[in-house]
Amino acid sequence: MTTFLSGIFTRSVGKKIAMGITGLFLISFLIVHCAINATIFVNDGGKVFNEAAHFMGTNIFIRIMEIVLFAGIIWHIVQALILTLDSRKANSVKYAKFDGKANSKWYSRWMGLLGTLILMFLVVHLLDFWAQARFTGLGIPPVMIDGKEYENMYGKMLEVFSVGWVVVVYILGMISLAYHLMHGFQSAFQSLGLNHKKYTPVIKLTGTLFSIFIPLIFALMPIAIYFGFLK
Amino acid sequence: MNLTLKIWRQKNKNAEGKFETYPVKDVSPDMSFLEMFDYLNEELINKGEEPIAFDSDCREGICGSCSMWINGRAHGPVPGVTTCQLHMRSFKDGETITVEPWRAKAFPVIKDLVVDRSSFDKVIAAGGFVSINTGGAQDGNTILISKDDASEAFSASMCIGCGACVAACKNSSAMLFVSSKIFHFASLPQGKVEAKTRVQNMVAKMDEEGFGDCSNTYACEAQCPKEISVEKIAKMNREYLTAKLT
Ligand code: HEM
Ligand code: FES
């Protein structure tokens, strides 16, 4: 235990392990978030979605996980910042000629930039929904479902995504997320030491599909609403 | 072949370096890259100029001395070879070739294309060995080693310590080198004994020497002249985690 306490996450390898843990945790959050939001595609005027949003907003376990999630994002970002600054220090003199594409993917080399774009998107996104639901109120009247009153999160979605530039911001956010995950998904397994001749190709394929479909489903939400496919 | 070489010249560790351009005429396509440098240096010496300093020893791809950053890549454009085994037929007649030293804080330039790689030696000294109290030598065949373990140790021992992994990495991370040196030993019964302390000490030394953190771009694997797989890095992370947790 004392060796454990003696700075597991302060060494280079430990920092990667922290990155891997937080990355996979954020991925697991994306799955839940995407599954719940996809209920809007039932196209029932938001009935199922509002009920799900109500559950997420009031269930004690989910509320605790919300705090863990914020902690996870902050830990992820702080570690990413440390990693990036360490690299700057270790690699202070640049080559006159560097043929990056001959040895790696551009999105693997630009994770910091992609992460920063995601962070900018997250701020906009949290202000659009989460901050209002928690603090200021949604500013639209509640709805009645089966004789019970619910916050109209669905109505809020329709309102937010009726504005063209907001839809564009969300699409750009999801493209950044797609490339971040295209590297990040398999990278997290590698960081945690899970590389195996048999399983790594499966992880890489899963990662690619995940990186395409999850952001695509998310992006289709504002698109479908903006173009009036969902009422 | 006629070529134009743009080469990094730097008098010593503290001097400020700069690129010099040298035209080289009548180069044979069968020359190795280093032979081409010998040829150019002869010319410079005949003219009374300072020859270009570069490292080389075996010139057959096994010692890891040669270390040139050629046209934006470690050991040049051909995968799986060292600079000494790169031939001029891999270039086009009339081409301009840019040659730089390895760039990393842990590899300071000593002169021209020569860098100080003693940071690697220090990492080895921190754990890249097996402690044996010598006595009567035991018959090697009494220790049974599976083919898989032997192959794993062998593939790790392929590392010649040239530093291309560090040179190619955007973070100047030495993890491919260090993990290779770890599993060169840790895959075998004699090396397993010190496995826990080895990984912790070598990782600590690697950090101390100023190498950066890995971000899994896998540039090291792509540029390693011995084509060592990043699977070794994952194994090192696993071994590090197990060592810390148990
Ligand atoms: C939902 C949001 C996010 C998810 C799902 C996510 C996921 C991941 C994953 C899985 C990795 C790979 C971890 C590894 O290599 O072990 C990663 C790496 C990274 N993330 Fe994120 N991330 C998110 C948000 C962010 C944000 C907001 C930032 C920065 C402001 C960021 C910056 C980075 C950086 C720089 C890396 C590369 C670190 C390295 O290995 O050198 N990420 N991310
Ligand atoms: S000189 Fe020995 S590997 Fe190139």
pLDDT number for residue B37:
98
Distance CA B45, CA B60 (A): 25
pLDDT number for residue A219:
98
In chain A, residues with a C-beta closer than 8 Å to the C-beta of B216 are 16, 108, 183, 186-187, 190-191
| CA B36 vs CA A128, B4, B54, B79, B110: distances in Å | 64, 12, 12, 20, 22
Q: Is the dihedral of CA A187, A188, A191, A197 positive or negative?
A: negative
* CATH number (domain holding residue B140): 1.10.1060.10
Both B61 and B137 in one domain: the answer is no
Nearest CB to B207 within list A11, A91, A97: A11
Both B131 and B224 in one domain: the answer is yes
B235 pLDDT more than 60: yes
Question: Over pLDDT 70: what percentage of chain B?
Answer: 100
pLDDT number for residue A7:
63
- In 3D space, the residue among B15, B16, B11, B20 whose CA is nearest the CA of residue B99 turns out to be B20
Question: CB contact, 8 Å: A203 with chain B?
Answer: no
Both B126 and B216 in one domain: the answer is yes
Both B129 and B162 in one domain: the answer is yes
Question: Over pLDDT 90: what percentage of chain B?
Answer: 92
Both B80 and B192 in one domain: the answer is no
B182 pLDDT more than 80: yes
Q: Is the dihedral of CA A62, A63, A66, A68 positive or negative?
A: negative
pLDDT number for residue A119:
97
In chain A, residues with a C-beta closer than 8 Å to the C-beta of B224 are none
Q: Which residue in B90, B208, B213, B224 has the most chain A C-beta atoms within 10 A of its own C-beta, making it the best mutation to test that interface?
A: B213
Is the beta carbon of A30 within 6 A of some atom in ligand 1? Answer: yes
Which residues of chain A fall short of a pLDDT of 70? 1-7
Both B44 and B157 in one domain: the answer is no
Model confidence pLDDT, tens digit, residues B14-52: 999 999 999 999 999 999 999 999 999 999 999 999 999
Q: Is the dihedral of CA A105, A108, A111, A112 positive or negative?
A: negative
Q: Which ligand is closest to the CA of A80, given by its number?
A: 1
pLDDT number for residue A2:
45
Lowest mean pLDDT among B13-27, B118-132, B137-151: B137-151
> Could you give the number of structural domains in chain B?
2
SS3 of residue B8 by DSSP = strand
Position with higher pLDDT, B136 vs B46: B46
Pocket lining for ligand 2, CB < 6 angstroms: B 56-59, 61-66, 82-84, 160
Tell me the pairing of strands B3-9 and B18-24.
antiparallel
B110, B132, B159 — which closes off a domain? B110
pTM above 0.90, yes or no: yes
Chain B (78-117) residues lying within 8 Å, Cβ to Cβ, of chain A: 98, 100, 103-106
* CATH number (domain holding residue B53): 3.10.20.30
Both B90 and B127 in one domain: the answer is no
Concatenate the DSSP letters of all residues of A148-174 into one string.
Answer: EEE--HHHHHHHHTTSHHHHHHHHHHH
- Fold observed for domain A7-86+105-226: 3 helical TM bundles of succinate and fumarate reductases (1.20.1300)
* Average pLDDT of the residues of chain B: 95
Could you give the ipTM of this predicted complex? Answer: 0.89
Instruction: Please give, rounded to a whole number of angstroms, the shortest distance from the CA of A34 to a CA of chain B.
Output: 27
Helices B118-125 and B175-186, axial angle in degrees (round to 10):
30
Model confidence pLDDT, tens digit, residues A67-99: 999 999 999 999 999 999 988 999 988 999 999
Domain that holds residue B139: 117-245
pLDDT number for residue A210:
98
Both B175 and B106 in one domain: the answer is no
Q: Would you list the domain boundaries of chain A?
A: 7-86+105-226
pLDDT mean over B187-207: 94
In chain A, residues with a C-beta closer than 8 Å to the C-beta of B239 are 193
pLDDT number for residue B135:
81
